[in-house]
Amino acid sequence: MAKIRQNDWRGIAIAAIIIVCWFALLVYLLNSFEVSFASPLTYLFILLQTHLYTGLFITAHDAMHGVVAPGKPALNKAIGTTTAFLFAYNWYPRLLPKHHQHHRHVATEQDPDYHHGSFWPWYFSFLKNYITWWQILLMAITYNVLQLFFPLQNVILFWMLPAILATFQLFYFGTYLPHKGEHAADNPHKSSTQSKNHLWAFISCYFFGYHYEHHDKPYLPWWQLYKAKV
């Protein structure tokens, strides 16, 4: 399967759509949406904003592989830095070497994403590797500033909660499921993959349940990854 051409602007356009949708929906939900726990819209918007948060991180991830703006390293890094920062103040230059270490040493002691254990210990190990104290401080400051201007329950439900849920989404579908358990000796990527269902693969984690395919063809952006699924 061919790599993305260096003059291909589709990744940039898709990244822009995710950023704009995340920001526009967040502004609407904080400023204009009246929360009703009896309304399914409240829960639908939580899930949608969670999915868009996940999209921010997936975009940052694609930037780590140079496929958001291929052939334009400065722009690619800028998009990756922006989307990582919007996702709970993650710092792209810190994430980049860790992610490539994961690809080089997948499911070994040198893999920062891997933990030999059950779900919750693995999840907390994952968080410990990626969350810093200054991120927590910035989140706390932002929380206190936002509640000065918007209803507290809107801030919690549509800014804070989706960010937390997105970490579960990314971890469960993009790390835990594909890398847990033992893998065959002839599996070079020590990764499993979801069954072929493109709709569910997109909804669950932007096709990253097709995880063996990602490790096998890391030059494919998320929106092309489904093409690698046999």
Residue 205: its H or E element: helix 198-205
Distance, in Å, from the CA atom of 148 to the CA atom of 4, rounded to the nearest integer, reads 45
- pLDDT the model gives residue 116: 85
187 touches 205 (CB < 8 A): no
Closest CA to 147 of 18, 139, 63: 139
Tokens coding 68: 């958001």
90 touches 130 (CB < 8 A): yes
Residue 206, CA distances (Å) to 36, 174, 183, 193 in order: 29, 9, 23, 13
pLDDT digits (tens, 9 = 90+) for 89-130: 999 999 999 999 999 998 888 888 888 888 999 999 988 888
- pLDDT the model gives residue 74: 96
pLDDT digits (tens, 9 = 90+) for 39-67: 999 999 999 999 999 999 999 999 999 99
- pLDDT the model gives residue 129: 85
Q: Provide the whole-model pTM.
A: 0.93
Domain boundaries, the chain: 10-228
Distance, in Å, from the CA atom of 61 to the CA atom of 58, rounded to the nearest integer, reads 5
Distance, in Å, from the CA atom of 137 to the CA atom of 158, rounded to the nearest integer, reads 19
Which pLDDT band holds residue 4 (cuts at 50, 70, 90)?
low
- pLDDT the model gives residue 1: 55
